[in-house]
Amino acid sequence: MSLGEVWYATIEAASWSGDGMAWYVRHRYWLAYLEKHPIAGDKRDASFLLVPGLADERHFSFRATNPGLENQHLRNEGGRLKLQHHFEGDELYEQDATFEMTPCLAIKDIGPGVSFRSHNHPDLFMRYKSVEQPPAPAEMWMEDFQEAGGQNYRMSFSFRLIPGLYH
């Protein structure tokens, strides 16, 4: 993807359950989760329009594709990744909804993986975490990355961008 380009994308966990099933970032009730492959009606919730960053066009923002939610983006609010409405000129929102795509933070080679750094909090990266094991959904957060973390920890910051499940 080049600067200024817009395309439909789904954020897939680089590794989650080890069961061979794909896990995707989706929004549900205005919060972002990592869940197993969605059923047909939920594919829009796991598909985003990847647009130039609202605060910095060198980076990216994730806009909802659902009817009626066209002006809502994933944003970091209090560390939790949420889907919220964009009001033009809201600089904090625009910074919270802008992400830098970085090389994957995983140690082992997982193929074409990436990680997402917060634009306005550059020490924070997109991460999934759960108090339960799969198949329970994991919550999506923005957290400080610790270099000393093991592979499973590093994988929780590692994703792939694939063509949108719905568009």
Structural domains of the chain ordered from first start: 7-163 (2.80.10.50)
Q: What residues contact 99, with CB distance under 8 A and at least 6 apart?
A: 53, 59, 60, 61, 62, 116, 117, 118, 119, 126
The string of pLDDT tens digits covering residues 120-163 is 999 999 999 876 666 678 899 999 998 878 888 888 999 999 98
pLDDT in tens, 88-112: 999 999 999 999 999 988 866 666 7
What pLDDT sits at residue 136? 75
Quick one: pLDDT at residue 16? 55
Residues above pLDDT 90, as percent of the chain: 59
